[in-house]
Structure 1
């Protein structure tokens, strides 16, 4: 085998070592590479007899499939793969012995032939690969030696962590970093407590930029390293965990961040450091995610010296084992009659958390003793909310009677809670749920005495007063309250009456807040049933609904402040079994319209759009078959600058509504002709409105979807001039001037008396002439001037600001500054201010100066730029002072 042929074989060896760097598993590549190698081998076999005998054994060496390429996927016992145990096959022993003999005599090539034949007979014989690696090392071929060492390590599960580390170092020396990472992963699996392997792997991962895997390795190291054996200090572990935790927090990976925090707590406890603050943070995260069993186990395990469950025989009822990676509690929950032993050093907050966990795990029999022990302990002022959270948890699992009993016991044992407004509010709320309205009323009044600005207490008190028939007093209770931050909803009839009073008093902000609270529970129906409710509700109507318009309306709502408020208060309304039948579809429609109108007058366009979208998809309002909110969608989206929804509405209107209008007008046709008409039959005046609005949206906001829709419409209506102009304008905005020019000329050939077309064509030619890659710049520029002159003649025979300003802008863009100055000066000193027709107070028509259409400020600014570029700053300042000074 010559050098080139030998290199071809080694290239295949390298290619077949594919690696998953995260798991450290080596796998063979696809059989396509193997087939390519087969053709290469046959080519060498036909051209070299010397290569034939040696390469065949080399080929057979590589001829093991995916099962034989990984040590974790070796064939099972009894499978016929042509492999025999080491020492059993006499031929194998003979070949190895002969290879050693030939190598000792200095005949390395013959020794290699015997070794490759041995591999053909026994592909899994590890010693053969090691001997080949040793021979290549003696021949000063370290990379080939490394590859056979790697193959030998892969073929046995007995490869030690030290051997994998040595192979990883060789991989780094040959800059094969992915192999080094995988080898270090193998070493870590063999010896998980050695910090050196993690350190090396992290360094390589950081060097290649694989940050995610580097952070996972840091977290794995913090969980697995034996700090005593490795002589690692806490600072090293602390830096390791905090680096990983900061990364996972940045990615908002809550699961990994929680795992890092738990690891930090376990390591801090191992080094004898305080863990209360971090442990409380971890418990908060777990309990928010309803991991109450993990929270309870954590408290009992990490504070086992301070709190213990004692069985009937006065021995610990739970066996706790703590390791670097976690802890085990057996049994959990404890069995039998349990009493608790609590050290005074344990914080009350951990006891309250443990009680809350047992409540949510339905282990109420553990809490009786715990609550008694808790209430006998000293009480700190900042722990009051933790005590009250027990009552809230009992209410969450629908144990309202137990919650009332806990508050009574709390008041008896801790009299200071009788001055706590939150405790009285909870007591009143629970009594209200139990229909004890008199007790609830007294409790809410106590809350208002202790905390006059307690919004939820005022709301609930007003609801009770309304139910007792004291409407005036209920309305007085809600007077001058800011209800935006409430967590309870007032009674519906009370909100209706308050809205009427606020409207009469012209209190706009309070009126908006009241209507918002009135509609929130009904808007929540949209989120309760999702898209299925929307589709089902709309199928009941006779109107055609474009589902993409509905989805676009829902996308507009998503993430808005109103949506967050609807979800928060709507869920509370459902939990409190708030009646939803008091307002009918017509009342909902009217109140939603009043809210949208008030928000429009207040300039709150974004919230107005969300209200319109909610009303558009609300099932009760949709059942009225009203066009009101469908029509308001476009108006609200334009005011709120949501051009995506506005364009989708126009597409909906153009595709579905206008054909229905035409169909209704042609009522004299036969029944067979009542199908939807093609768009070429649509009313011209309606289409012109649609095209004008669509062109406005394209000028304000660009999207490839808009252009695709226009092109699809052009296929359906190739003779529609408005669509050609819209397509040209879109191309002009995006910089496709030649395409825009083609669209404009298609219309110009039919309407050569239209000044707007001449102006657009002039603009397109001007933009093309200013491009860098144009070869006939002056010819194209002359065409721009010719069409601008045509525009001027068609537009008006009189002197006009519009014409002179546009001419000046064209000359300014093309660099013909002397003509630009002349045109701008005509705008400033010769052209009259535009006049418009308006209606007087009695309906008469009259002309007025249209100052908002006066172009003198724009012309003076452009003229000052020309003077400033020429160095005449005095003249530029004079022009600005004369025409642009407020």
Structure 2
């Protein structure tokens, strides 16, 4: 027999522990007395080794047994070590290390004495074993500090009296403690038991008695701590582990429950209820693979329990382990060569068919027929499965022969089988045959009428029989109210038949329903697909307002959620109660439990959540202490706010109705059309909100064309709303993209003209554009216009003349220069007024020449003469305006701006004869020609 090795002070632990490993479980060391005498140790050594050997022969489990070291205080077992590790964490780490050493030792080949190599030096040993400590050094470290083992030959067999290792003194103390407990003297009992633990820390009886005492005192937590210690020191005591399982379950601690269940199963492998319980714990944790493994183990212990076998297969399939499911079922069939449960064959065939292994499924059914159904009729469900396999393999005739077993007479008795046949035919595009089997079930009290009618309608669609398809689609929609796809398909068919109103009614929510009273809409109406389809129908019909009412809330909600929520899904900030609940997975905050320190029993995601929760709680506590210190330092009263509602539910991430709104080209066109429709309906603020959100969220991803369209619409909205500042950014962006476009600058000035002239953004932008584009005329003219509006005519003339240098033949610039110089001439400080008037008239005459004596130029020249008092010349030019007819011309539009019928003016909106007539009548009236003035008004200014 292999010699038993004892491990102590391994891996630099502060408190040494002893773990014994061998062919058997190992015996307990007798720590009776103070052990002050070396002779006493030598006398007991042989007996202990023989006891160990006897127990090795009794138990061949090959597991180690936990024992306290001589220098360890069991009552302080919940304290952390210098590295911050709990005692059980150290124990688990030590266990893994020892198992690794044991595995390495078992793998070492046994050599005959003649082939044992000579002893090598320590350096050679290290070079051979690789970097780090050699195997001999590890064994030496394992035996360091332990008692020297006797080299005497061990005797085989049981020694008399080796079963009892408790001295008479300890027995007397345990008896006294039991009497104290029985008479309710708990404190005296605890004192005695602590003394017993000091003398013999590896004796489980005092821990068990302390558990009874604390349980009687009502301290169930401490009771469980001592029961846990007693259970570890007597790991084969199944009753203790079962008690711990029950208490852990009662506390709702799944981690602790599962650990205790594992120990209880090792103590009593025959108790299958424990394995069932552990499997249920795995299911609660969502670890279906381990749950399936547990049920597979149970199935091996109960090979005839088909229910357990099928449950294992179910959970293997749930986690995608189809090969494991197939292996379990195939093993069952191999172990039952003469008689097997038909449901196992059916289940295995279904798994093969789900994996598209129809040939395997067919071979399995044929094998089962030859093995189990010789001279018997094959069950209908297996026979139909064979027919479906033939159908997928292209054996149409064989499949039809098998499907003949299902007729209209017995179809109502097997609706699931008939539906399975029809679905298979439809999947393979045999629509006529599928329709025949579906129609067998029509009229029966079938729970799935909606699904049946939907499949029938789909068959009629593929067979191009629209009337029947519409009829059954209506039936399916009535049965399946929340079926979005059914409504969409039905509406498409109705549109193809020209029944637009019916399609709208199918997609529109009912006006009067049970849900309307409660204010809860139908669930299918919340689908974005339904609203998009309805919007398309309204657009095609030209129902602009109805289209906007449907699609605007959907797009607005999507853009709003994308703007207020980050691109990455973030979880809501959790309250302290939720964080504490997550930490329970690892119980790191419960330092007074003996079970603290075991490897956490939970999924990796749960452990990660628990770690983050612990950090968040620590951070919150530090922040709370900092606030408290600051409040106390300032002399204010400190009020703690530990409410659970500090992070409301509205901070939870919500998925937008249209996640790809700003990525899909069709959706972007829909946004542009929506904004145009909103502007046409004069819902300017709604349009501006959509435009700004789109430009903010997708400024870098929008195409130049779409971005330009949205900015043009934003600028158009800007000069139509009460506060044009909201359209300033759009107008500025257009000008930045088209700095030499007069239409873009016209739009910009149209927005700016309604703002304060000293608007900071405008001034900075205008100076930037003039500095960047020195030859750009519009910003110079705009600067001159602004000086004119505040009557700084000299500054305005200077700006206009600068523009005149760049473009002397421009009509507008000549007009502006002439007007500014004329206004300068009317000032009080100018000495050479007549010369200045002549210069201004020269520029106005130049404008008249460049325009080809247009009506507008004639009116402007006459108005200038009228302004400076040259009424005779003004009357002449006003009369020429009355004699000239001017055709209307379109108002300049922005880049990418479409002509809007709302902006169309009445005929004659470019004619200035009414203005000229009115000014002329004023001249006649002031000169005394009242009849002539009255006639002018009658001819040109009468409606």
Task: Quickly name the TM-score band, shorter chain normalised.
Answer: 0.3 to 0.5
Report which structure shows greater RCO (CA 8 Å, sep ≥6). Answer: 2
Larger proportion of helix: 1
Q: Given the two structures, how large is their TM-score scaled by the length of structure 1?
A: 0.35
Question: Looking at CA atoms only, which structure, 1 or 2, has the larger radius of gyration?
Answer: 2
